[in-house]
Amino acid sequence: MSPDNAARRPAALRRYDAAVPHPAPSTDALFLALRRMRAPLVAVVAVFTVAVVGLALIPGVDDRGEPYWMSAFDAFYFMAYTATTIGFGEVPHAFTRSQRLWVTICIFASVVVWAYAIGALLALIQDQAFRGALARQSFVRRVRRLRRPFLILVGYGQMGRAAAEALDALGRSCVVVASSQESIDALVGAQLSSDIPGLAGDARDPGVLGLAGLGSKYCAGVLALTDDDAANLSIVMAVTLLRPDVPVIAHANRPDTDKAMREFGADSVVNPFERYGNYLVTRLRRPSTYRLVTWLTAPPGDPVGPAVAPRPDGHWIVAADDHFGEEIVGDLEDAGLTCSRVWPVDGAPDVMGAVGFVSAGLDDAQNLAMAGHVRLTNPDAFLVVRQKSRRNDALLRAFGADSVFVAAHLTVQESLARVITPDFWDFVQYAWGLPDDEGGALLERLVAVVGHGSPDSQRFVIGDRDAPAVERWLRRHTLVLGDLFRHPDDRDVPIQALPVLVIRDGVPSFAPDLGEQVRSGDVIVAVGRPRAFVTLADALYYDHTLEYVATGQVVPATWLWRILTRPARSSSQA
C-alpha cells in the first residue's frame, strides 16, 4: 500500500505487534506417510533381515566341494535383487538344497509383505487427509516461489471466479483461498492463462491466511469476497491486526457488517446493495457521467456504453423481498423520486403511470417474468432487473433490460478498481461527482486517445525506483507531463495513455493539463492500453529515450557512443 493510502486509511483500533501465524511445516505429508506406513515398512525390513541372516548362516559348497559361508554383503546382494527381479542366478556358487529351501521360503514371505506394503501405500494415496497434506505442501511451496506482488483472493464463488478471471486478464498474480475442495477443483479446471495457487480452508483462521502468504513481503492486498459476512469480517480483523500495511477490501451484504468492517479499519467495504442505488441515480440524472464511471471500472477491453438521454422524473415501483428493496427505495427517494414497494409473492403489479420498475426478487425467473409483464403493459417504463446467477447472462442479454443489477459483478469491479492500482479509485470518485457535461467531455477526451475499450491503469512515482531517467533529467532540465506520453519512435504521435491524476505533496490534481511541469516525487496515475504502458517505461528508464521525447534530439543509446559522437552533435546543434 502506498504511503498516501496509508495516510487515508480509516483510524484503526489500538493494536500491538504480532507475527502472522507461520504455515504448518512442509513435511506434514512425509510425517503422515511414515506414520501410516510404519507397520508395513517394519514388516518388510524384518523379513528382509531374517532372510539375509539366515542365508548367511546356512553353509554352502564352493567349486572345489569345500564348505563355505556367504558373507553378509553377498547375502544382502542376493536377497536385494531377488526381491525386485526374477534373479540373476545363484552367486557366488551354486546353492545347496538347504540354501534353496531357505530362499524359497524367503521369496514367498517377501511377496506377502511387499503386497501388504503396496496395499497400505495405495490406501494411503487414497486417504483424504494425506492428499490434503500433499496439496497444502504444494500450495505453500508455490506461494513461497511468488516473487512479484500478489493479491490474496478469499472465496471462489461467483464473485471470486469473476475476480480471478479479471486479474488473470490483467496479468496480475493472485492466490485463492476457498471454503470447499469443489471450489478449488473448479479453479484448477478454469480457462485461465496462469496457474493460480488454490487452497481449501477456513479463512477465518489466521493460520490459513498465513499459508496463503499474508506474511509475505510480496502480498499487495487481500480481497474478502465470500458470501458470508461473518467470514469477511473475520478476514478484515485478521489483516488489520496482523498486517496493517496490507490493504484489505471486503464485501458486505448488511449495513451493520459494513459499519463493523469500517470501524475495524478496512481500507474499503463494498456493499453492492447500497452501491447500486448510486449507480442507478447517476444513470437516470447524469447518463454521460454514468458511462464514464462504468467504463473506467469495467473489465479491460469492454466497450464504452451507448449514449442515452436523462430520464424524466416520476413514480417508481420496486418489487423486492429482502433488504435490497429498502436500499433502492431509499436511494430513489433521496434523489427526489417517489417510490412504492411491492412484494414479488403478490404477483406482477400494476405499473400503469410508473416511469420505472425495479424487479429485484430473490428468484431470477420470477424477476424476468415480472419485467416481461411490465414491458407488455408499460413499454416506456425504465426496467431494472436483478440477476443472481451467471447462468442467466444470455437470457438477460436477450431480454435487453435498461439496467441489470448483478451484485457479484458490481462488487468485483469496485474491489479491483480500489486495489489493483493505488489512488486510481480517487480518480473514479472524482469522475463520479462531475456534472453530466463535464463527465461527457472527459469521456470523449479519454476515448479519443485510449480507444473505446475499457482501459488499464498504472501508477508510478517520479523517483529513482519508478522513473530513474526522469529523476536524472529533472536535476538539470525541466519536463512537462505531456512529454512522457509521446511515442519514443515518433514524438509527434501520442501513446494510447493519458495521465488522469497527479499527486504532489499530498494534494491531488485530477485530469491534469499535459503542459504541467513534472517534479521529483510526483505520483502519476494514468489510464491506457497495456502496450502503451510498456512504451511509456522506455521514457521512464532510458535517458536517450527521455531526451528524444522531451527535445526531439536523437542521441545514441550507450554512453560510449555518446562520447564519441559528442563533437558531431555539438556542431549540428550549433
CA distance 508 to 2: 14
- State the angle between helix axes of 543-551 and 530-541 in degrees (0 to 180), rounded to the nearest 10: 100
Preceding omega of 92 cis (within 30 degrees of 0) = yes
> pLDDT value at position 134?
87
SS3 77: helix
pTM: 0.80
CA distance 319 to 343: 5
CB 257, CB 244: distance < 8 Å? no
Q: Taking Cα atoms as reference points, which of 494, 482, 473 lies closest to residue 555?
A: 473
> pLDDT value at position 23?
59
> pLDDT value at position 127?
87
Positions in the chain whose pLDDT score sits under 50: 1-8, 10, 26, 569-574
> pLDDT value at position 559?
60
Question: 342-377: buried (b, 16+ CB within 10 Å) or exposed (e) per residue?
Answer: bebeeebbebeebbbbbbbbeebebbbbbbebbbee
> pLDDT value at position 563?
62
Q: Are strands 173-178 and 198-200 parallel, antiparallel or unpaired?
A: parallel
**Domain architecture of the chain: domains with CATH:** 29-126 (1.10.287), 147-270 (3.40.50.720), 276-409 (3.40.50.720), 435-573 (3.30.70.1450)
CA distance 42 to 38: 6
C-alpha cell at 384: 431494472
> pLDDT value at position 222?
96
- State the angle between helix axes of 181-188 and 158-170 in degrees (0 to 180), rounded to the nearest 10: 30
CA distance 356 to 351: 8
CB 224, CB 418: distance < 8 Å? no
Q: Are strands 382-387 and 403-406 parallel, antiparallel or unpaired?
A: parallel
SS3 216: coil
